[in-house]
Amino acid sequence: MLTNITMGQYYPVDSRVHRLDPRIKLILTIAFIVCVFLASNFAGYILLSAFLFAVCRLSNVPFKMLLRGLKPLRIILILTFLLNLFFTPGDDVWVSFWIIRITREAFLQALFYSLRLMFLVAGTSLLTLTTSPISLADGLEILMGPLKKIRFPAHELAMMMTIALRFIPTLLDETDKIMKAQMARGADFESGNLLSRAKAMVPLLVPLFISAFRRAGDLAMAMESRCYHGGEGRTRLRVLKITKNDMIACVIMAAFIAMLILAGRFIPF
């Protein structure tokens, strides 16, 4: 029922991409995001898709999973495409009737903007698909470490993120269970107008909130009873180490960025 949410869901298989150091993977993801904005022509986008596809293959995550993460975005994607298509000014007119005017420039911009959005989401979901929430938060905490000097609560933020991510599947399961329990009592979540549907959510949301608060209380107690008192002096079970694998990944990324820039400069379409 609620299994089609991929964003932020870890896909637990082993691969070179999974084994990358989370810090490196975060930096590489940011680099990839920059790349998405660097691409300015067809050649660039072809390179981006090839790169994404290759990394996906290397990570043993089915390409389907990546596409599934794009599904919730379809409305935004269509809107982006249409708005850009109709409202971008240009000279090379393709279609023109009534108030609609489609130009070549508009079409290209619409296409590129929607592709850009897709790549952004696909690239970042590849990060979360191949990195367990815990190592992701670990990586973030270390990367944000220098900010601690200006009193930025890096550890607390990372811990909050770990907990939030950790509870997404739990709360989804819980939602599924409560939904089924209320359906067993004849609740109807699927039909009716907007108002009656919103009202039908009450039997679902009240128990869900109560259980979330109960879980939060339990977790706080469990952490406290294991002497958790914030990040000060806390050591790690898994000390992160940069391996040869990580170096190779960095080199590949650098080469890719160079290729992308060259493609933008020297390939005319």
Partner 1 sequence: MSIEVRHLTHTYSEGSVMRTVALDDVSFTVEKGEFVGIIGHTGSGKSTLVQHLNGLLKPSAGEVLIDGEDLNGEHVNRRALRQRIGLVFQYPEYQLFEETVAKDIAFGPKNQGLSAEEIDGRVRYAMDCVHLDYDKYSASSPFELSGGQMRRVAIAGVLAMKPSVLILDEPTAGLDPRGRDRILTMLEELHAREHTTILMVSHSMDDMARLATRLLVMAEGKLLADGTPREIFSRTEMMKGAGLDVPAAARLCQALRDRGIDLPTELYQADELRDAILRLWRQGKEATGC
By CB under 8 A, name the one of 79, 181, 219, 221 that touches partner 1.
181
Q: How many residues does the chain have?
A: 269
In the list 19, 180, 234, 265, the residue contacting partner 1 (rule: CB under 8 A) is 180
| Residues pairing with 127 in the sheet | none
Q: Is residue 100 near partner 1 by the rule CB under 8 A?
A: no
* Residue 187: CB minimum distance to partner 1, A: 6
Burial of 122 (0-12, 13-18, 19+ CB in 10 A): buried
CB closer to partner 1 out of 82 and 206 = 206
| Closer to partner 1 by Cβ: residue 153 or 203 | 203
Q: By CB under 8 A, which span of 20-28, 116-124, 206-214, 240-248 interacts with partner 1?
A: 206-214
Minimum distance from CB of 26 to partner 1 (Å)?
Answer: 24
Q: Which of 188, 197, 224, 251 binds partner 1 (CB under 8 A)?
A: 188
1-30: which residues touch partner 1 (CB under 8 A)? 3, 11-13
Residues 229-268 that bind partner 1 (CB under 8 A): none
**Other beta carbons less than 10 A from residue 180's beta carbon:** 11
- Nearest distance, CB of residue 73 and partner 1, angstroms: 21
Determine the interface stretch with partner 1 among 23-31, 49-57, 172-180, 235-243 (rule: CB under 8 A).
Answer: 172-180
Q: How far does the chain reach from its first CA to its final CA, in angstroms?
A: 44
Phi, psi angle pair for 103, to nearest 5°: -110, 165
Question: Interface with partner 1 includes 216 (CB under 8 A)?
Answer: no
Position among 89, 99, 186, 237 found at the interface with partner 1 (CB under 8 A): 186
Q: Which of 95, 184, 195, 239 binds partner 1 (CB under 8 A)?
A: 184
Instruction: Tell me if 182 contacts partner 1 by CB under 8 A.
Output: yes
* Residue 96 φ/ψ, nearest 5 degrees: -155, 110
Taking CB under 8 A as the binding criterion, the range among 34-42, 75-83, 174-182, 234-242 that sits at the site for partner 1 is: 174-182
Contact indicator for 3, 176 with CB cutoff of 8 Å: no
Amino acid (one-letter) located at 72: P
Cβ–Cβ under 8 Å, residues 64 and 1: no
Q: Provide the binding-site residues for partner 1, judged by CB under 8 A.
A: 3, 11-13, 62, 174, 177-178, 180-188, 202-203, 206-207, 210-211
